């Protein structure tokens, strides 16, 4: 089995081959088969062919590692989204329980300000702020706030 195949099997990316090839030329990354069917001697470790093989193998390893990292990052993101959704649902369920208990006991449930007051719709009622007329601004602001809440 080649080093690349062994590495992929070890990382769980590829399953172990059922019938690994027989013979020294197939198991050895260094030996090459010649066109006449014989086995040539191992290439020189400093030869361009050997360097290219090492480079290709390293690039494949890096690609596999990158894919693993992307997968784990996406998995973590999905876990965080799921956890956030679970917390949101738990909060909604708790709020619903509290509303039911309050209703059963005849308590009035106050409406929160963010549900009854739309800032974007009412911002036009507040005059532009002028540092020289601060008192006038606050008087007008209080008048608008009182009239909108009543």
End-to-end CA distance of the chain: give it in Å, rounded: 83
CA distance 6 to 15: 9
My answer on whether 103 and 119 are in the same domain is no
My answer on whether 83 and 122 are in the same domain is no
Instruction: For the chain, give the number of residues.
Output: 150
CA gyration radius, the chain: 36
Amino acid 22: pLDDT: 52
CA angle 67, 72, 77 (to 5 degrees): 125
My answer on whether 58 and 96 are in the same domain is yes
My answer on whether 104 and 115 are in the same domain is no
Domain encompassing residue 130? 111-150
Q: Per the structure, how many domains does the chain have?
A: 3
149 against 99, higher pLDDT: 99
Amino acid 148: pLDDT: 67
Instruction: Name the phi and psi angles at 40, rounded to 5.
Output: -85, 160
Position 79 pLDDT exceeds 70: yes
């Amino acid at each position: 089995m080649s080093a690349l195949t062994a590495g992929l099997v070890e990382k769980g990316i590829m399953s172990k081959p059922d019938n690994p090839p027989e013979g020294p030329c197939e198991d050895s990354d260094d030996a090459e088969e010649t066109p006449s069917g014989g086995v040539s001697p191992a290439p020189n470790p400093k030869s361009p062919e050997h360097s290219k093989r090492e480079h290709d193998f390293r690039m494949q390893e890096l690609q596999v590692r990158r894919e693993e990292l992307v997968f784990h990052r996406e998995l973590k993101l999905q876990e965080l989204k799921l956890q956030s959704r679970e917390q949101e649902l738990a909060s909604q369920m708790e709020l619903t329980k509290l509303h039911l208990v309050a209703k059963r006991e005849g308590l009035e449930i106050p409406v929160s300000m963010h549900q009854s007051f739309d800032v974007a719709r009412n911002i036009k009622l507040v005059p532009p702020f002028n540092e020289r007329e601060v008192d006038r601004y606050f008087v007008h602001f209080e008048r608008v706030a009182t009239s909108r809440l009543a």
